[in-house]
Amino acid sequence: MLKQFLLAVVIFSLLVSCKTEIKKETSQLTEKDKQKPNIVVIYVDDLGYGDIGVNGAIGASTPNIDKLANNGINFTDAHCSAATCTPSRYSLLTGSYAFRNNAQILQGDAPLLINSDEATLPKMLQKNGYKTAVVGKWHLGLGDGEVDWNKEVAPGPREIGFDYSFLIPATGDRVPAVYLENQKVMNLDPNDPLKVSYKGKIGNLPTGFENPDLLRQVPDGQHNKTIVNGISRIGFMSGGRSAWWVDEEFPDVLVGKAKKFINENRDTPFFLYLAYHDIHVPRLPNEKFLGKSSMGVRGDVIEQMDWCTGEVVKYLEELGLDRNTLVLFSSDNGPVLNDGYQDESVEKLGNHKPAGPFRGGKYSALEAGTRMPTIAYWPGTISSKTSNALWSQVDLYASIAALTGHDLDDREAPDSFNMLDVILGKTEYGRKEMLEESFTLSLRLGEWKYIAPTKRNPKWIDNKGVESGFSSEPQLFNLREDISETKNVAKDNETLVKEIQERIKMIKEKGSRLL
């Protein structure tokens, strides 16, 4: 009983000290900090902690990203909110954990996941004088469930706060394989209407399961539907031929649209959410990058994505905007090698470690699922360092609110903490407690990491070469002694496990900031 009481006191004081510290630090914002800098969030898909040079990559070189890390802050304990894409993106844009909206990987014809009346990061920035844009992978659903792709698609990014949008609507491996600009399919010929189905085949375009001879990469049983550009996708599509994308053009197209938005808004504060398709499957590098790395196409698209990053940062410099722009670089979930197509990523990996020192990867409850390569770069404001502070992308909402002088009300971004001083490198005192979502929930508390029991088969992602970390038993790891989560000490710490379980229940019921 006494032990339990003492533990509760320890946890409580950890949390209280964390909050007080954040409050105190916030008031140190200088006038310069409040001048509404531009904000560019560069969001990579499926990039692992160990996939960039500064974090030990050996199979691909990333000089442009390394430059940002060496001249900014390289975070060692920064997280996306979940181990898959849609939930992480949902949290980044709303400041809410994804389970609150049951956010899960969406198909390409899913309705918009975020309600038009929900508070979002871009809406909050619009209210504070920003022009806002999303360029790249969306994967948050579009329309109301009955989309006619030949008309304007709404609701979409505009309804949740983006003035401009240029989208890969879901993922590169899902139909529709077309771009949408400001919610209209680009280059569509009205005489060749575009239709999409996830229920069964429509039209007579070849599919991977019927015409494997037409394929450039061998797909699994999900990725074997309509063939576009020699690659079969998840889902069926017919028509719209003049609008089909060419995967190899993604880097030039996305960088081009990003630069155009930056240039057009150079005289007003802007927020650019630049979400690459890379390094998700299908991995189809542009010929400029094909064969450049030593580990096959996965390494080539890492180098391609590094080039894109360099192009955007150089453009900010060219326009003289770099000293007034906060660039945040991160990824939406951990790494995976085989995620639907046989593309030699497994065979050519060599000694490269996509997850760095961590165990797990995409989909996994282990640290590599959410611990992301993360960099903050702002020449003249942020100085060079490595930071071990714990924080999450769900915190971007409250942190950016603080940066732009916006006060949050209680219902806004309920899981988002103001980590601005962590992001600006003024403190390494980050979160003491943080939820991680996968196909179960985990909680980081100080040096501890708890993974809730789940009935999901622990071996379900074995064929992807990723350890799930799932177990029907509660798991507790001490990350200070055991960074790779190999020794489950839950049985030796039953009281702590109970406290953490209680804590998760409270976060679920009330929202993290209201506790």
205 binds, among ligand NG6, Ca ion, none (CB under 5 to 8 A by kind): none
Which pair of structure tokens corresponds to residue 217? Answer: 């990469």
With CB under 6 A as the contact rule, the residue among 222, 383, 386, 472 that binds ligand NG6 is 222
Q: What is the closest distance, in whole angstroms, from the C-beta atom of residue 87 to Ca ion in the complex?
A: 10
Cα 67 from chain centre = 21
What is the chain's Cα-based Rg? 22
Q: Rank residues 103 and 422 by Cβ distance to ligand NG6 and give the closer one.
A: 103
* Region of residue 338 (phi > 0: left; psi between -120 and 50: alpha; otherwise: beta): beta
| Amino acid occupying residue 200 | G
- DSSP code for 408: P
**Is residue 234 at the binding interface for ligand NG6, with CB under 6 A as the rule?**
yes
Q: What is the closest distance, in whole angstroms, from the C-beta atom of residue 106 to ligand NG6 in the complex?
A: 8
Q: Round to whole Å and give the CA distance between 432 and 357.
A: 21
Q: Round to whole Å and give the CA distance between 51 and 373.
A: 8
**How far are the Cα atoms of 273, 368, 424 from residue 166, in angstroms, in the given order?**
11, 30, 29
Three-state DSSP at 376 gives strand
222 binds, among ligand NG6, Ca ion, none (CB under 5 to 8 A by kind): ligand NG6
Which pair of structure tokens corresponds to residue 228? Answer: 């576009």
Q: Are 431 and 149 in contact (CB under 8 A)?
A: no
Q: Rank residues 173 and 300 by Cβ distance to ligand NG6 and give the closer one.
A: 173
* Region of residue 387 (phi > 0: left; psi between -120 and 50: alpha; otherwise: beta): beta
The window from 332-340, 404-412, 432-440, 485-493 that contacts ligand NG6 (CB under 6 A) reads: 332-340
28 binds, among ligand NG6, Ca ion, none (CB under 5 to 8 A by kind): none
Which residues would be at the binding site for Ca ion (CB under 5 A)?
A: 45-46, 85, 332-333
Strand partners, 165: 134
Closest by Cα among 68, 15, 21, 70 to 44: 68
Closest by Cα among 47, 134, 56, 34 to 93: 134
Which pair of structure tokens corresponds to residue 471? Answer: 């177990």
Strand partners, 476: 450
Q: What is the closest distance, in whole angstroms, from the C-beta atom of residue 124 to ligand NG6 in the complex?
A: 25
Q: What is the closest distance, in whole angstroms, from the C-beta atom of residue 457 to ligand NG6 in the complex?
A: 14
Query: Using CB under 6 A as the criterion, what x/- string covers residues 299-318 for binding ligand NG6?
Result: --------------------
Give the start-end residues of each E strand in 118-194: 131-137, 164-168, 180-181, 184-185
The window from 23-31, 90-98, 333-341, 442-450 that contacts ligand NG6 (CB under 6 A) reads: 333-341
Q: Rank residues 259 and 362 by Cβ distance to ligand NG6 and give the closer one.
A: 362
Which residues are CB-neighbours of 456 under 8 A, at least 6 positions away?
439, 440, 468, 470
String of DSSP letters for 400-455: HHHHHTPPPPTTSSTT----HHHHTTS-----SEEEEESSSEEEEETTEEEE----
With CB under 6 A as the contact rule, the residue among 108, 208, 219, 340 that binds ligand NG6 is 340
Give the residue closest to ligand NG6 by C-beta. Answer: 85
Site for ligand NG6 in 72-91 (CB under 6 A): 84-85
Q: What is the closest distance, in whole angstroms, from the C-beta atom of residue 396 to ligand NG6 in the complex?
A: 19
Query: Using CB under 6 A as the criterion, what x/- string covers residues 98-137 for binding ligand NG6?
Result: -------x--------------------------------
| Amino acid occupying residue 304 | Q
With CB under 6 A as the contact rule, the residue among 25, 33, 46, 51 that binds ligand NG6 is 46
Cα 7 from chain centre = 34
Q: Round to whole Å and give the CA distance between 333 and 281.
A: 13
Q: What is the closest distance, in whole angstroms, from the C-beta atom of residue 8 to ligand NG6 in the complex?
A: 37
**Is residue 278 at the binding interface for ligand NG6, with CB under 6 A as the rule?**
no
Closest by Cα among 183, 155, 187 to 169: 183
**Is residue 284 at the binding interface for ligand NG6, with CB under 6 A as the rule?**
no
Q: What is the closest distance, in whole angstroms, from the C-beta atom of residue 370 to Ca ion in the complex?
A: 11
Q: What is the closest distance, in whole angstroms, from the C-beta atom of residue 233 to ligand NG6 in the complex?
A: 10
Site for ligand NG6 in 368-427 (CB under 6 A): none
Q: Rank residues 170 and 327 by Cβ distance to Ca ion and give the closer one.
A: 170
Q: Rank residues 43 and 378 by Cβ distance to Ca ion and give the closer one.
A: 43
**Is residue 226 at the binding interface for ligand NG6, with CB under 6 A as the rule?**
no
Binding residues (CB under 6 A) for ligand NG6: these are 45-46, 84-85, 105, 139, 171, 173, 220, 222, 234, 280-281, 333, 339-340
